[in-house]
């Protein structure tokens, strides 16, 4: 599996948080982050379609259902229902942040190998948007007073030329990367929905209901 140098990423999002003045509150940042996940998910749909067509069959077939072999280092969005429900805010945000950091790294690796210029352009654009999402998440964490996850010295991902991968296995890794990215974006939307509801002042919700029923 591809491993890459990503130390730059870990420090980048901290800067916008420090520059924040007159913070309107985490609610607005959460809404913005939520909107970003929706935008990215929409963007990914067209990107994934193009990329899978580039990979060719069977990757671009709708019924393609391979076993999850390899791609162990990809951050997995799947989680037990009760565990997900009971995640505290800090853990929820941290998991999102770490996932996208890794995914962005892998995507950049993908971009390096992409054959056509068109594909490289789309991938680069997506990477930029994904970086924006990371920054947004970092902003929310800072606003709520949570520290950004710092990579432990041993686990810092570094570029090493991996074992000679067959062409097919490489494509399988790409397939799983895109799949995991899409699933994470859906999960993040739900995560930020949950955070948004928590941040909402309860009084506002009550008045909304009263107005709706016209009493």
Partner 1 sequence: MTSLHAVPHSPSASSLARLLACSFACSALLPPLLPARLPGRSLGARPSSLTARPGPSPTRPPGPLWGLLLPPGSFRLPGPQPRRPDARRRAGGPTERRRHRRGACVGTQMAAPVPWACCAVLAAAAAVVYAQRHSPQEAPHVQYERLGSDVTLPCGTANWDAAVTWRVNGTDLAPDLLNGSQLVLRGLELGHSGLYACFHRDSWHLRHQVLLHVGLPPREPVLSCRSNTYPKGFYCSWHLPTPTYIPNTFNVTVLHGSKIMVCEKDPALKNRCHIRYMHLFSTIKYKVSISVSNALGHNATAITFDEFTIVKPDPPENVVARPVPSNPRRLEVTWQTPSTWPDPESFPLKFFLRYRPLILDQWQHVELSDGTAHTITDAYAGKEYIIQVAAKDNEIGTWSDWSVAAHATPWTEEPRHLTTEAQAAETTTSTTSSLAPPPTTKICDPGELGSGGGPSAPFLVSVPITLALAAAAATASSLLIW
Binding site for partner 1 (CB under 8 A): 38, 41, 63, 65, 67-68, 76-81, 84-85, 176, 179-180, 183-184, 186-187, 189-190, 193-194, 197, 208, 212-214
**CB of 90 or CB of 190, closer to partner 1:** 190
**CB of 148 or CB of 178, closer to partner 1:** 178
Q: Are 205 and 47 spatial neighbours (Cβ–Cβ below 8 Å)?
A: no
Least distance CB 215 / partner 1 (angstroms): 11
Least distance CB 66 / partner 1 (angstroms): 9
Least distance CB 177 / partner 1 (angstroms): 10
**CB of 164 or CB of 209, closer to partner 1:** 209
Burial of 149 (0-12, 13-18, 19+ CB in 10 A): middle
Tell me the backbone φ, ψ of residue 71, rounded to 5 degrees: 50, 35
**CB of 143 or CB of 195, closer to partner 1:** 195
Q: Is the Cα torsion angle 8, 26, 180, 122 positive or negative in sign?
A: negative
**CB of 77 or CB of 130, closer to partner 1:** 77
**CB of 18 or CB of 204, closer to partner 1:** 204
Q: How far apart (Å, rounded) are the C-alpha atoms in residues 168 and 198?
A: 45
Closest alpha carbon to 2 in 169, 117, 185: 169
Least distance CB 163 / partner 1 (angstroms): 24
Q: How far apart (Å, rounded) are the C-alpha atoms in residues 88 and 198?
A: 11
Q: What is the DSSP string of 163-179?
A: S---HHHHHHHHHHHHH
Q: Count of alpha carbons within 13 Å of 207, Cβ hemisphere only?
A: 5
Q: How far apart (Å, rounded) are the C-alpha atoms in residues 32 and 16?
A: 15
Least distance CB 15 / partner 1 (angstroms): 30
The number of residues in the chain equals 215
Least distance CB 186 / partner 1 (angstroms): 6
């Amino acid at each position: 599996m591809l491993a890459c140098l990503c130390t730059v990423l870990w420090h980048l999002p901290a800067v916008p948080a420090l520059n924040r003045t007159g913070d309107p509150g985490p609610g607005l940042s959460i809404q913005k982050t939520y909107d970003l996940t929706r935008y990215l998910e929409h963007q990914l749909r067209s990107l994934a379609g193009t990329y899978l067509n580039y990979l060719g069959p069977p990757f671009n077939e709708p019924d393609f259902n391979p076993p999850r072999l390899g791609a162990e280092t990809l951050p997995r969005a799947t989680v037990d229902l009760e565990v997900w429900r009971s995640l505290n805010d800090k853990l929820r945000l941290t998991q999102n942040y770490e996932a996208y950091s890794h995914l962005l790294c892998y995507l950049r690796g993908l971009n390096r190998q992409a054959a056509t210029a068109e594909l490289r352009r789309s991938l680069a654009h997506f990477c930029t948007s994904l970086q924006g999402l990371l920054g947004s998440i970092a902003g929310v964490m800072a606003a709520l007073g949570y520290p950004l996850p710092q990579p432990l010295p041993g686990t810092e991902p570094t570029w090493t030329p991996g074992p000679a991968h067959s062409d097919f296995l490489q494509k399988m890794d790409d397939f799983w990367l895109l799949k995991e990215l899409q699933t994470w974006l859906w999960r993040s939307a739900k995560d930020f929905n949950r955070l948004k509801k928590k941040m909402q002042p309860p009084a506002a919700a009550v008045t909304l209901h009263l107005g709706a029923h016209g009493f």
